[in-house]
Amino acid sequence: MLILAIESSCDDTAAAVFDGKEETVLANVVSSQNEIHARFGGIVPELASRCHIEMIWPVVREALDQAGVSLDEVQLISATQGPGLVGSLLVGFTFAKSLAMVRGLPCVGVDHMAGHILSSMLEQERPEYPYTALTVSGGNTSLFSVASAVEYSRMGRTRDDAAGEAFDKVAKLLELGYPGGPVVSRLAEDGDPKAITFPRAWLGKDSLDFSFSGLKTAVMNYVHKLRQKGEPLKIADICASFQEAVVEVLVTKTVNAARANSHTRIALGGGVASNQRLRTLMQQACDREGLSLFVPRPAYCTDNGAMIALAGWYHYQAGRRVEWDDDAYSRSPLN
């Protein structure tokens, strides 16, 4: 079955064409709005919605062209229903429902979190069920116990900022541009992760929840103090020390979650999962603990249509379909 998938939950317009039977990605196209939002230091929701409207058809067209598939051959439409920015979601979700309706095709609404939870399944080396999934992006930081392709239970989540949001806010403070994660991690390569001791929020011995707002405030206070004294900022050291604090908490809690569930497999998903330091320290921790780690390629970590196609395909097989009056939602029932 050929699936056309659409993802527009935030600031990327994405479409994919996917062969369900072979579980193969035939095309995965993303149009980024980074340049538009960069000068504001963060996403402007109204601009994001307008850009999605402009880009949705060209991106779908491009995905079909790259896959060598005509619209007539598409048999299922899958689209992100939530969570995210409602204005952005509505563009992709309404487009998908309209296309499905006029073509007489089934349509599945997918939770964006399910896409990130399953994204490692897009690779050759896939985790078997059950596994522990860390989904870590600009909007979410959560831990899930994944029992099957359509059964996930949340074990922990952030109580305030998402990890990617913390990267973005620290980058804004240091005037490094948007999105913050890639530039902070690049600068961190030349810095000393032990140069500054920023706080780690453990939230109690057994807690699998996260908190990154205290860390963000600690970086702000540190930077303001130096600026007030007129002392130079060692940007690389700040980036490396901040990143280390985020990564250490993510790694420790993910391994604790796997242990608590007696899982032997961990999978990562979400934009921050493309962070090299996170990948390295998570791999080291898994090697120490005898766990297997599954990390999708960066293109499947950040928002993409391929993961929405895969999740849509699994949910379609489980009997899920949208009603035509189904609405987009901003908060995930999974989270």
Instruction: Label each residue of 145-172 as H, E or C.
Output: EEEECCEEEEEEEECCCCHHHHHHHHHH
Strand partners, 15: 6, 29
Min dist CB 323 to ligand KG4, Å, is 26
Q: What DSSP state is assigned to residue 127?
A: P
Interface segment toward ligand KG4; rule CB under 6 A; list 132-140, 207-215, 222-230, 259-267 = 132-140
Residue among 158, 141, 165, 116 at smallest CA distance from 267: 116
Burial group, residue 291, by CB count within 10 angstroms (0-12, 13-18, 19+): buried
Contact flag: residue 92 with ligand KG4 (CB under 6 A) = no
Residues numbered 249 to 288 that lie near ligand KG4 (CB under 6 A) are 270-272, 274-275
Contact flag: residue 179 with ligand KG4 (CB under 6 A) = yes
- Please give the Cα distance from 323 to 82 (Å, whole number): 15
Q: Give the sheet arrangement for strand 76-82, strand by strand.
A: 24-32, 12-19, 2-7, 76-82, 107-111
The correct pick among 164, 193, 296, 305 for binding ligand KG4 (CB under 6 A) is: 164
Contact flag: residue 193 with ligand KG4 (CB under 6 A) = no
Q: What DSSP state is assigned to residue 180?
A: H
Min dist CB 186 to ligand KG4, Å, is 8
The correct pick among 7, 111, 168, 244 for binding ligand KG4 (CB under 6 A) is: 168
> Which of residues 196 and 307 has its CB atom nearest to ligand KG4 in the complex?
307
- Please give the Cα distance from 334 to 94 (Å, whole number): 22
Token pair of 100 as six digits: 């499905």
Contacts of 45 (CB under 8 A, 6+ apart): 85, 87, 88
Contact flag: residue 191 with ligand KG4 (CB under 6 A) = no
Contact flag: residue 82 with ligand KG4 (CB under 6 A) = no
Contact flag: residue 181 with ligand KG4 (CB under 6 A) = yes
The correct pick among 93, 167, 313, 316 for binding ligand KG4 (CB under 6 A) is: 167
Contact flag: residue 10 with ligand KG4 (CB under 6 A) = yes
Residue with tokens 């453990």: 202
> Which of residues 271 and 305 has its CB atom nearest to ligand KG4 in the complex?
271
> Which of residues 100 and 266 has its CB atom nearest to ligand KG4 in the complex?
266
The correct pick among 109, 127, 130, 139 for binding ligand KG4 (CB under 6 A) is: 139
Number of residues that bind ligand KG4 (CB under 6 A): 20
- Please give the Cα distance from 114 to 25 (Å, whole number): 17
Token pair of 272 as six digits: 């921050």
Judged by the rule CB under 6 A, the positions of this chain that interact with ligand KG4 are: 10, 137-139, 164-165, 167-168, 179-182, 185, 270-272, 274-275, 302-303
